[in-house]
Structure 1
Amino acid sequence: MEHAPPPRSGARPVTTTRSSFTAGFSPAAGAGSSLLAYDREFLRTAPGGLMLAEIVLGLLVWTLIAGTEYFLYPAFGWVMFVAVFYWVLTVFFLIIYMTMTYTRIPQVPWTTVGLCFNGSAFVLYLIAAIVDASSVTNELNSHNYNSWAASSFFAFLVTFCYAGNAYFSFISWRSRTSQ
């Protein structure tokens, strides 16, 4: 039989509880109950469709550049950074919106976060698209030229998509802050 050491003076007892987080995911919990919701209608909204277009077109931007010797040209490194960074974050936000995770974290001002994200994506993608277009050179390797020209075109398309989402985010933010 073990003896606990005597309590220190001024020490408060600590109470712990144990919970089972995975219980809600078990098949025995029922087919209709799920901890993660799925919003089937989100992709049918304008912001959802624009977000899907941002993912597809953004993927085209960085894969077209990644298939070339872009590392020899610092300007394309900037374009790659912007394209990959915002592509990853857009996928992340799509998952948050599709699973309705934002409803479980009400402490986060999601309308402000969306406005800042889409606004910064618009500005930085616009700069990256301009840098991309101005860096396209017709060199001996026509593969690089074609890929860079195509990536520039898609970068401007993604820029317009982020501008549209920034507009919808602003409308949502303004309606939330006026309440």
Structure 2
Amino acid sequence: MEEGRARSQTVTTTSSSNCDTFTTASLSYDRSFITTAPGLLLLAETVFGLPVWALIAGSEYFLFPAFGWVMFVAVFYWVLTVVLLIIYITRAFTRISKVPWTLVSLCFYGSAFVLYLIAAVIDATSITKEILDDHNYNSWTASAFFAFLVTACYAASTYFSFRSWRIRIRS
């Protein structure tokens, strides 16, 4: 061996991961989910949640701080509900087995119910006789109606999630 040249060494490394591999190529569409009560409620929350924030967004809500809170809750939970709907329809939750989905659903629906109830009450009580002649009155009134409708859907979803979580805990 020549002096001045260092010996070359081969280094072999391996890596491991604690999470399961997630590929989108293996996702499938579950049509039967939409026919179940939780699926129908999730779809209703998506459909009825959209007008809550759309009706307020089309008005001059920024002049009234209470409607800012309603907008935050409505948009936040609408986006999360759409994401959850996609996760359940594509059955992605079966590919991510490390997540306790029954507990995640229970926490999501429970918090959505409580915060949407607060937002619906704020939405309804912020509509006063002083704005009766205002062009925003009809939008805000319709928004309050849909907010209470979505609140009822989240309450029912909380009930179904609690039942599912309770069954999972017992087994």
| TM-score bracket for the superposition, by shorter chain length | 0.7 to 0.9
Give the letter aligned to residue 13 of structure 2: V
SS at match of 1:41: helix
Name the CA distance, whole Å, in 1 between partners of 2:103 and 2:14: 38
Of residues 36, 52, 55, the one that matches 2:43 is 52
Cα RMSD over matched residues? 2.4
Of residues 21, 30, 37, the one that matches 2:28 is 37
Q: Which residue of 1 aligns with 2:161?
A: 169
Of residues 67, 78, 99, the one that matches 1:76 is 67
Where does structure 2 lack aligned partners over 5 or more consecutive residues? 16-20
| Cα distance, 1:164 vs structure 2 | 0.3
Q: Name the TM-score, length of structure 2 as normaliser.
A: 0.86
Show CA shifts across 1:99-147 (max 9, x none): 0000001100000000000000000000000000010124265320000
When residues 145 and 177 of structure 1 are mapped into structure 2, their CA distance, relative to the original with a 3 A threshold, is same
Structure 2 residue 118 is the aligned partner of structure 1 residue 101? no
| Cα distance, 1:163 vs structure 2 | 0.2
Q: Which residue of 1 aligns with 2:148?
A: 156
Aligned residues: 160
When residues 108 and 5 of structure 1 are mapped into structure 2, their CA distance, relative to the original with a 3 A threshold, is farther
Where does structure 1 lack aligned partners over 5 or more consecutive residues? 26-33
- After TM superposition, the runs of 4+ consecutive aligned structure 1 residues lying more than 6 A away are none
| Cα distance, 1:14 vs structure 2 | 1.9
Q: Name the TM-score, length of structure 1 as normaliser.
A: 0.82
Name the CA distance, whole Å, in 2 between partners of 1:37 and 1:122: 29
Give the letter aligned to residue 75 of structure 1: A
Q: Which residue of 2 aligns with 1:31?
A: none
Give the letter aligned to residue 129 of structure 1: A
When residues 141 and 106 of structure 1 are mapped into structure 2, their CA distance, relative to the original with a 3 A threshold, is same
When residues 15 and 177 of structure 1 are mapped into structure 2, their CA distance, relative to the original with a 3 A threshold, is closer
Show CA shifts across 1:5-45 (max 9, x none): 856xxxx63248xxxx9xx98xxxxxxxx511110111100
